[in-house]
Amino acid sequence: MKIYLKIARAELRYLFYSPVAWFVLLVFYTFAAYLFFFPQESKTIVQEEILDTTLDWMGVAPGLYGDMIGPIVKQLTDNLYLFIPLLTMGVINRETTSGSIKLLYSSPIRTREIVLGKYLGMVCFNAFLLLGFGVVLATASFTISDPETGWMISALFGMFLIANAYTAIGIFISSLTNYQIVAAALTFVVFFAMNQLSGLWQQYDLVRDLTYSFSLKTKAIMLLRGMLTSRDIIYFLLIAALFLFFTLIRLKSMQESKTRKLVFSRYALAFLAVVMLSYLSSRPGYILYHDLTKNKNNTLHPVLQDVVKKLDGSPLTVTLYANLFHPRAYAALPQNRVNYFLDLWEEYIRFYPNLKFKFEYYYDINEGDSSLYKKYPGKSMDEIAAIRCEILDIRKSLFKKPSEMKNMAELRDEELRMLMELDYKGRKTILRAFDDGKTWPKEENIAGSLMRLVRDNDVKTTFLTGHIERSPYRFTPKDFGGMVTNKDFRNSLINKGVDADTISIADKEIPDNLDLLVVADPRTPYNEAELNRLSKYIDAGGNAIVLTEPGRQQFLDPILKKLGVQVDHGTIVRIDKDEKPTIFSNRFTDEANLMADELYWQYYNWYRKWYLGGWAMNDGAASLNVEPVNGFKPTPILIMPGDQNTWIENGLFVVDSAAPVFSEQEGDIRKPAYNIVVSLTRTINNKEQRIIVAGDADFMNTKRVPQGKIWQALYSWGLNNQYPVYANKRMPPDRFFSISNKTAGILLGIYVYLIPAALLLIAAIILVRRKRK
């Protein structure tokens, strides 16, 4: 071991007496400091200005690591290969050209001690090289509130592994030629090719697998994201070992008289051994993981882990169906398959290794859709497909014609969307991709599809029909289809594991086993038999959402009376110079925000900021009076405060005429507060019955739900919070700088100007003194 250390120390001494090494240190540090401290100085100005005007600002939403440091790490990693060739170009060949290699060979020092000793010295220098960026990150951890220190350490470690792998390759190349300039140029070309090839010819499986195996920056993605994995660490160690062994073979071949066949076989055996070890270390189920991010960004949400645990270990096959004519088809093509696995399935493979993947590519056009034919006039479908393939740089033979697809009927039923079919123990379900800029489904979408595979019965929201109620299948602004059955919207219930159905009670009873019944603003009266059936469902303990509108509450009065709810006659109005008097917004109460784990509702409970939480956009609402009856516990969850500009209008009122005027003679009423939505609970048949009553149906329609950030919260509560499966995580903790702009300016001067000047001075002193000696 002493020999290794002596050689490493000699190599390190040589580097610190080399102008080139000091140049590399200075440029790399200055580049890193510049990338961080200039943006920090400008961002602290923005932070101070926002805090002066917005007291409840939540900070930088993606977190300062994600917003600023992460891109810096990526940029440094992408350019790291530019610095290594200047360091490794003479590691071996300078010994050869100076003749000192003969002295080393004739000494008791073994060849492997020479190679490993020099590599150890280079590894130490890489540590010095990255120490400058480490100082920048350490400073960042003091200038940022609640910094992602673990994430920073993981990223720095990943960069260190990449630098050491590059170094091993550079040492091998330096053993191939006696000229340092040639070695530097060749090393640069090899590194450049390794970085560029990962983006070329990725449509071919063999090429993609090979380039992915030798694309060091791609292999480091998880490390740079804050996730340590045994697979990635072993990979970098194996790459370094491979090229060090290549160097050892090269030096041995220079000392011994061996045939080229024998030398080649040594290279081949070393390569095959590394490939085998790399394969074994990357097998799903045998990889160790450790997520260093504070919010566990790279780890499945615990709720999702519970869903995955419901699978019994049997194969889960995921077949991706991609239509060449789909707007997001490019994301599904072979050249993007690495990102498909890393961005979508990596977290799931960790917890469920028995995932199998298949790919089906085809082209077809929806019946009646002439848009493509108009874009490519005079072209047939096959000709359009050929043009599209040329644009996407993909071979047309990869795509099947409609006649060649066995399940074309099912794909047409899905309107040729890009989707994945999940197959588990013979049960199949659909997981859709989306044309919303993000393409792949989120955790909640995947959880919904997985639950379809393991549950015994389908879960549905069932809507009453037959009296012109609002429909879960229509997509008008007034109806509920957009939030319930819209397959193209990732936040709709159908894409989160909940189906929709309708039922008419004109001639049949309501089944007791409904998951949730929705009575959405009937516009004609129910007859006595229908009211009895609806009443029987409620008496049996069924969950329901009951929505009415001003002027139509009489259709539901018998049912509402059973619930202890009375709807005031008239419409709530609020005078607003910028809006119609019947349109207004109100925030849900604290109790309401505890009803479901919808994102903004959960944010409110975590951070207690007034502008978070659920709120509703009402468009014509009635006021509710509630009292406890029949064991129900009523809780108002959407309350409109009363004031001089708000009242219940009972007189003649036309929305698009002049603003209404309060008139007590016409029956107008002012109240201290107006209940618009109430929840009712009681224990019956050994379970909690949950009912929501609202004096407005519009706040849950396709148009108003997105405006009010309600999304699926009330459906979730009505489904006993079992669906959707929410997987929300807290905001990144590092959202604020902990320093002023003045301090940031001082740090900028010190780190970007003063420290580089000091390094330059130290380098000059050391080099001058060395030259004098």
**311-354 residue pLDDT tens:** 999 999 999 999 999 999 999 998 888 889 888 999 999 999 99
- What are the tokens at 572? 């709530």
Identify whether residues 233 and 362 lie together within a single domain: no
Distance separating alpha carbons of residues 292 and 270, to the nearest angstrom? 34
What mean pLDDT do residues 225-248 have? 92
Identify whether residues 190 and 220 lie together within a single domain: yes
Greatest distance between any 2 Cα atoms in the chain: 115
pLDDT number for residue 187: 87
3-state secondary structure of 690: strand
pLDDT number for residue 438: 87
Quick one: pLDDT band at residue 212, thresholds 50, 70, 90?
Answer: low
Q: Is 92 exposed, middle or buried (0-12, 13-18, 19+ CB in 10 A)?
A: buried
* Domain end residue (candidates: 292, 322, 355): 292
Identify whether residues 580 and 564 lie together within a single domain: yes
Quick one: pLDDT band at residue 184, thresholds 50, 70, 90?
Answer: confident
Residue 695 covered by a domain: yes
Quick one: pLDDT band at residue 773, thresholds 50, 70, 90?
Answer: low
Identify whether residues 137 and 180 lie together within a single domain: yes
pLDDT number for residue 322: 94
What is the CA 615 to chain-centroid distance, rounded? 26
What mean pLDDT do residues 191-219 have? 68
What's the whole-model pTM score? 0.89
Identify whether residues 491 and 399 lie together within a single domain: no
Distance separating alpha carbons of residues 171 and 84, to the nearest angstrom? 10
Answer whether residue 597 shows pLDDT above 80: yes
3-state secondary structure of 215: coil
Answer whether residue 223 shows pLDDT above 80: yes
Residue 771 covered by a domain: no
| Residue 129: partners with Cβ closer than 8 Å, 6 or more residues away | 24, 25, 28, 83, 163
Quick one: pLDDT band at residue 205, thresholds 50, 70, 90?
Answer: low
pLDDT number for residue 198: 62
Residue 410 covered by a domain: yes
| Residue 747: partners with Cβ closer than 8 Å, 6 or more residues away | 37, 40, 41, 139, 143, 739
pLDDT number for residue 460: 94
| Phi, psi of 427, deg, nearest 5 | -95, 135
pLDDT number for residue 609: 83
pLDDT number for residue 193: 78
| Phi, psi of 211, deg, nearest 5 | -65, -35
Query: Where would I find the H helices in 514-588?
Result: 528-539, 557-563
Answer whether residue 179 shows pLDDT above 90: no
What is the CA 33 to chain-centroid distance, rounded? 29
Residue 228 covered by a domain: yes
Answer whether residue 214 shows pLDDT above 80: no
pLDDT number for residue 208: 62
Comparing 49-58, 253-262, 493-502, 537-546, the range with the smallest average pLDDT is 253-262
* Domain end residue (candidates: 292, 322, 356): 292
Residue 736 covered by a domain: no
Kindly report, residue by residue over 363-403, the tens digit of the pLDDT. Answer: 999 988 888 888 999 899 999 999 999 988 888 989 999 98
Identify whether residues 267 and 377 lie together within a single domain: no
What mean pLDDT do residues 547-562 have? 91
| Residue 395: partners with Cβ closer than 8 Å, 6 or more residues away | 203, 389
Nearest to residue 57, comparing CAs of 46, 69, 71, 41? 46
Report the DSSP pairing between strands 673-684 and 633-641: antiparallel
Identify whether residues 427 and 278 lie together within a single domain: no
DSSP assigned state of 81: G
| Residue 121: partners with Cβ closer than 8 Å, 6 or more residues away | 7, 8, 9, 10, 11, 12, 15
Residue 732 covered by a domain: no
Q: Is 488 exposed, middle or buried (0-12, 13-18, 19+ CB in 10 A)?
A: middle
Comparing 25-39, 106-120, 176-190, 735-749, the range with the smallest average pLDDT is 106-120
Comparing 95-109, 164-178, 250-264, 629-643, the range with the smallest average pLDDT is 95-109
**Separation in Å, CA 51 to CA 57, 58, 244, 462, 567:** 7, 10, 55, 47, 44
The strand pairing partners of 576, in sequence order, are: 579
Residue 735 covered by a domain: no
Answer whether residue 97 shows pLDDT above 70: no
What mean pLDDT do residues 73-95 have? 85
* pLDDT > 90 in the chain, percent: 61
| Phi, psi of 465, deg, nearest 5 | -140, 165
Answer whether residue 515 shows pLDDT above 90: yes
DSSP assigned state of 69: I
Kindly report, residue by residue over 651-707, the tens digit of the pLDDT. Answer: 766 666 667 888 888 888 999 999 999 999 999 988 999 999 999 999 999 888 887
What mean pLDDT do residues 161-180 have? 90
pLDDT number for residue 1: 74
On average, the pLDDT of the chain sits at 89
Other C-beta atoms lying within 10 Å of the C-beta of residue 706:
14
Identify whether residues 472 and 426 lie together within a single domain: no
* Domain end residue (candidates: 292, 311, 336): 292
Identify whether residues 485 and 418 lie together within a single domain: no
- The answer to whether the beta carbons of residues 472 and 461 sit under 8 Å apart is yes
What mean pLDDT do residues 749-763 have? 92
3-state secondary structure of 283: coil
Distance separating alpha carbons of residues 400 and 423, to the nearest angstrom? 21
Residue numbers of the domain that contains 327: 302-454
Other C-beta atoms lying within 10 Å of the C-beta of residue 603:
20
Identify whether residues 438 and 488 lie together within a single domain: no
Answer whether residue 540 shows pLDDT above 70: yes
Distance separating alpha carbons of residues 24 and 87, to the nearest angstrom? 8
Identify whether residues 176 and 67 lie together within a single domain: yes
- Give the end-to-end CA distance of the chain in Å, rounded to a whole number: 30
> Does residue 393 or residue 748 have the better pLDDT?
748
pLDDT number for residue 611: 81
Domain count, the chain: 3
- The b-or-e profile of 229-243 (16+ CB within 10 A means b, else e) is bebbbbbbbbbbbbb
Q: Is 96 exposed, middle or buried (0-12, 13-18, 19+ CB in 10 A)?
A: middle
pLDDT number for residue 140: 93
The strand pairing partners of 547, in sequence order, are: 520, 694
- What are the tokens at 703? 């148009």
Residue 751 covered by a domain: no
Quick one: pLDDT band at residue 199, thresholds 50, 70, 90?
Answer: low
Answer whether residue 173 shows pLDDT above 70: yes
Identify whether residues 389 and 475 lie together within a single domain: no
